[in-house]
Structure 1
Amino acid sequence: MRPLNTVFGELTRGCRQCLLGTKSVLFITGLCPLNCFYCPVDRDRFGRDVMFINDVPVKQYPDDIIRELDRAGSNGLAISGGDPIVVVDRVVDLVRILKDLYGQKFHIHMYTHALNLSEEAVRKLAGSGIDEVRIHAINPTQLSNKLGLIRILKDSGITLGLEVPALPRFEDNILRVAEVLINNGLIGFININELDVSPANINNLVRMDYVPGPDGSVVGSLDVGVKLASEVRRRWPWINVNVCSSRSKDLAQIGARLFRISLRSSAGGEFIIDDGTVREG
């Protein structure tokens, strides 16, 4: 059986929290001006300004978010989308609220596509107190005129990394993206995710001659991720690289979080199995 994660170097704090189940996940908006062929976001979310915390709909902001963080006993939050940078004012507001409520050690990271970076949004984010930003780009042309903006985030003290899907046949482009960011001293880590198949992207993936596997990921994607990670470490041995499998998300990250929630909420006469499911004793 393959490992859930293949790590070269050290995991970032955000990744460690996810694997331990101590970080909740906020889908802060479905808005994104891009239409990446591999985007797995469900069509009932993509393009809509909706929020979900651990897949629970957020109807009352920020109360529902805080309530779920407390229920899960989380000590951190991952902010995804869509692209959170599209609603940067909401991100900044939420970071302030959560840091005031839980303290500065409450770790918050978010994802954004390089193409969506603007000077106004970046300057707001740079002063927000967010801990970590993961930049997405699969082609060096997507970094055109963006390095100065990424530098603003870096100089503000935010930990920066590159996060990409393991796309077969895009290995050279992804390595060139890494080269640009690393040679400019902008990132300290790279996360490479096994490419998930979903109803939203399956037709696009098949048109690209990718083969959906029985485990819900693209056949060969994980191997591509490990090869990419190995090459990154060969060229830049000081860069931390994590290859995250689909099983890691399902079993480790979500499973560990559900296990923690069940531990905190189970009643007498109930017992919790490894996947976090509660059963009657």
Structure 2
Amino acid sequence: MTISGNPEITLYNNPLPKGCELCRLGSKLVVFISGECGDSCYYCPVSSERFNKNKMFANEAEVSNLMDYIYEAYRMGALGAGITGGDPILAIDKVTSLIRIFKNEFGEKFHVHLYTSGRYATNDALRELSEVGLDEIRFHPLKVEYREALKKAMKYDMDVGIEIPSIPGEEEKILELIKWAEKEGVKFVNLNELELNERNFFQLNSRGMNVSHGITGVKGSFETAKKVIEEFKESRITVHYCSSVYKDVVETRTRFLRTIRVSAKPYEDFTGEGTLIRAIVRTNQNLDILYGEKIGDNVYSVFPGITDELVKKLDIDELKIVEEHPDSRRLKVSEKVLKSNFEP
């Protein structure tokens, strides 16, 4: 059996878990249900803005209620959702309510997976998750005793896997865990490239770890994962390496492009990087609404390809090209002023 994939992006020895397949299509809504967590991993990549905070996010945007997740799922044409945190089981009531809403709104084929350490994965919690339709559960068993939660989960009708960081120098520890998982009938193990960010920088740096791959990938993490996958290339258990480059570039860009296809307005152009381009025009003259949309007093959002035509036809006070992310935040990437009659 050969190892498939691209070393810069992802490697795997067997077909990927369903949740990962949909992620590759950019069709998974990222549900951050709460930052509350009873563990404190030194390598945790969750930002200070979210960690141990009772906050909810749909993809990149903070939300205030569960229906906001449904609106964002429609915006991007989601085929599923990944519920993360924190440890989502600490917000079990919100989680089960949300899964029920997803299934009622989009049907049973809407695939939902969830991440947990296993610390709080009691039989009661797992039964509730299974009964509302959770399709896949991914454990990060920080301690040996957390492995008992995987055994419990396999009694229920959902795919059970492990997802852990590929920590340089911990090949033997990871190999032991996967051998245990294979023996117990766990379906897959995902090895994420260890990421360095503003919150875990000092913890990782003090251990001699620094970035050498992409923007956040820690040196040696890929090599560790590759050695592990090679050990299991003939095994039935799926072992999958997912790089920080994939998460930062491919996954996000694919999801943005999907959102553009579903929700972009007719007057918006887009780039191959998954950003939207539009022109903002300020004029006292009447602008035919067919050109775009009025967004303020004498201010219009129009297709950027017609700006030369508008300059010839109208007395324009201000004209600029804006590049934005396509999600609900509309985070501005760049702005180029083509014409302005206003003093700086």
Tell whether the structures are fold-level matches, with TM greater than 0.5: yes
Q: C-alpha separation between the residues in 2 aligned to 1:252 and 1:44?
A: 24
Is 1:68 aligned with 2:67? no
Matches within 5 A, 1:239-254: 239-254=237-252
TM-score (normalizing by structure 1): 0.92
Q: Tell me, what secondary structure is at the counterpart of 2:138? A: strand
Q: Considering only aligned residues, what root-mean-square deviation do their CA atoms show, in Å?
A: 1.7
- Partner residue in 2 for 1:229: 229
Structure 2: which amino acid aligns with 1:178? I
1:278 is aligned to 276
Give the match for residue 52 of structure 1. 57
Bigger RCO of structures 1 and 2 (CA < 8 A, at least 6 apart):
1
Report the Cα offset of residue 90 of structure 1.
1.4
The structural deviation recorded for 1:144 is: 2.0
Question: Match for 1:78 among 82, 87, 93?
Answer: 82
* Percent identity for Structure 1 against Structure 2: 33
2:134 maps to amino acid: I
2:38 equivalent to 1:33? yes
Equivalent positions of 1:1-281 (< 5 A) are 2-59=7-64, 61-138=65-142, 142-144=143-145, 146-147=147-148, 149-185=149-185, 187-213=186-212, 215-234=215-234, 237-279=235-277, 280-281=304-305
Is the contact between residue 196 and residue 210 of structure 2 (CA under 8 Å) also seen in structure 1?
no
Shift of 1:117: 2.6
Amino acid at match of 1:161: G
**Aligned-partner Cα distance in 2 for 1:269–1:128:** 41
In 1, the alpha carbon distance for the partners of 2:204 and 2:26 equals 30
Q: Deviations over 1:47-87 (max 9, x none)?
A: 1111000111111x222111100001101000110111111
- Which structure has more helix as a fraction of its residues? 1
Distance 2:272 2:220 in 1: 28
AA aligned to 2:196 is V
Question: How many Å separate the matches in 2 of 1:146 and 1:15?
Answer: 22
Distance apart, 1:8 and its partner CA? 1.3
1:155 Cα shift?
1.9
Matched-pair contact (CA < 8 Å) for 2:196–2:217: yes
- Aligned to 1:192, the other structure's residue is in SS state strand
**Higher-Rg member (1/2):** 2
Task: State how far apart, in whole Å, the 1-side matches of 2:129 and 2:237 are.
Answer: 24
Q: Which amino acid aligns with 1:196?
A: E
Amino acid across the alignment from 2:145: S
Cα offset, 1:191, TM superposition: 0.7
Distance in 1 separating the partners of 2:144 and 2:133: 24
Q: C-alpha offsets along residues 130-179 of structure 1, whole Å, 9 cap, x if unaligned?
A: 000011125xxx232642x4233212111011111110122211221222
Give the structure with the larger strand fraction: 2
Q: Which AA in structure 2 matches 1:15?
A: C
The CA deviation string for residues 189-235 of structure 1, in whole angstroms up to 9 with x for no partner, is 1111111111111111012221233621111111211211221335x
Instruction: Flag structure 2 segments of 5+ consecutive residues without an equivalent.
Output: 1-5, 278-303, 306-344
Q: Give the letter aligned to residue 76 of structure 2.
A: A
CA distance in 1 between partners of 2:221 and 2:150 (Å): 28
Q: Distance in 1 between matches of 2:108 and 2:146?
A: 32
2:155 counterpart letter in structure 1: D
Mapped to 1, the partners of 2:20 and 2:176 lie a distance apart of 24
Structure 1 CA distance for aligned equivalents of residues 100 and 123 of structure 2: 20
Cα deviation digits, residues 92-130 of structure 1 (max 9, x gap) = 111111101110000000111033333332332232310
CA offset at residue 269 of structure 1? 4.4
Structure 1 unaligned spans of 5+:
none
Stretch deviating more after TM superposition (266-275 or 221-230): 266-275
d(CA) in 2 for partners of 1:257 and 1:222?
Answer: 24
The two structures have a TM-score, normalised by structure 2, of 0.75
Q: Distance in 2 between matches of 1:266 and 1:53?
A: 18
Task: Tell me how far apart the structure 2 counterparts of residues 8 and 193 of structure 1 sit (CA, whole Å).
Answer: 15
